[in-house]
Amino acid sequence: SVPSETFTTEAGSKRKVVIHDDEGKELVPTGNKTVPSFPRTIELSSKHSASSRDPEAAAQAPIAASVQDSDGVEYTLVGLGIRTVSFLSIQVYMVGYYVATQDVAKLQHYLTKNINPIATTLVPSERDTLKEKLLDPAEGEETWTALLQEVGCRSAFRIVPVRDTDFPHLRDGFVRAITHRSAADKEAYGDEAFGEAMRDFKRLFSRGKVPKSKELLLCRDEKGALEVIYDDGRSFGRQSCGKVQDERVSRLLWLNWLAGKKVASEPARTSIIDGVMEFVERPVGTVAAQVV
């Protein structure tokens, strides 16, 4: 049976629990019965690597414009958690945050220097300082905002519903989260370009049902452009729903899971921060080869 814990503690440090499926793929347990595990890594291939005339090739080549090379880019799981709504704590979806494996060093470097400008790795007391900072509503938002704007890390949120839902329902939740933040700063988000970007964002979700256990990917490239990718479980695999170029849209949506007074999933935020701690206790650049 699949373990229920995502992290285990070894020698005072938290490490992700990694299990293997029948094909030897690495999985991380979620603790959820409907969606019991998430892949430790996902690979997103560029649209150029599949022939549109060959459905089989297309099925093997998920579309992601955040990827430029034909070999595809590997993304590594940072943390995951369940999204619940209302006082009844109704479970909606499992969400996981992934960072392009090649870009993990950028994340490490930025967060390490943020705490100690001359360090390549953080000692326990410095890690505690960083963790407190990321958990603090104001400082956490400030740190993630700067990281998203300045560092150019390719990242993705993988969303898998634990109950049947649909695109309009998911869209409304995402739009509420973005407008909640944008409304607080009319100067930064009150322009027509942002309004148009939000209309583009809403159009990406003009589809029908999203059955439980199906995968929705929100991908952010190094410039902050957002692409929505959906896999309905049929033969063509992952398909692009479209893109929004304005980086402000993806940045505010990412903050909805990463930082602030109220996040979409407190378990996900905590798990993501635990995953970040895994990165910063190792010398910068060493995690890309071995994350677990």
CATH at residue 20 = 3.50.70.10
The confidence score (pLDDT) of residue 131 equals 95
Residue 288 lies in a domain: no
The confidence score (pLDDT) of residue 113 equals 92
What percent helix, strand, coil does the chain show, rounded to 5? 35, 25, 40
277: three-class secondary structure by DSSP: helix
64: three-class secondary structure by DSSP: coil
Residue 220 lies in a domain: yes
The confidence score (pLDDT) of residue 21 equals 86
| Total domains present in the chain | 1
| Contacts of 149 by beta carbon, 8 Å cutoff, 6+ apart | 224, 247, 251
Q: How far is CA 127 from CA 15, 103, 146, in A?
A: 15, 20, 19
CA 53 to chain centre: 31
Residue 58 lies in a domain: yes
Residue 289 lies in a domain: no
Task: Name which of 249, 228, 245, 99 is nearest 177 in CA terms.
Answer: 249
The confidence score (pLDDT) of residue 47 equals 56
Residue 1 lies in a domain: no
Residue 263 lies in a domain: yes
Residue 249 lies in a domain: yes
All residue ranges of the chain with pLDDT < 70 are: 1, 11, 46-71, 286-292
Residue 285 lies in a domain: no
CA distance 97 to 164: 21
The confidence score (pLDDT) of residue 69 equals 43
268 neighbors 95 (Cβ within 8 angstroms): yes
The confidence score (pLDDT) of residue 96 equals 97
Domain range enclosing 222: 7-280
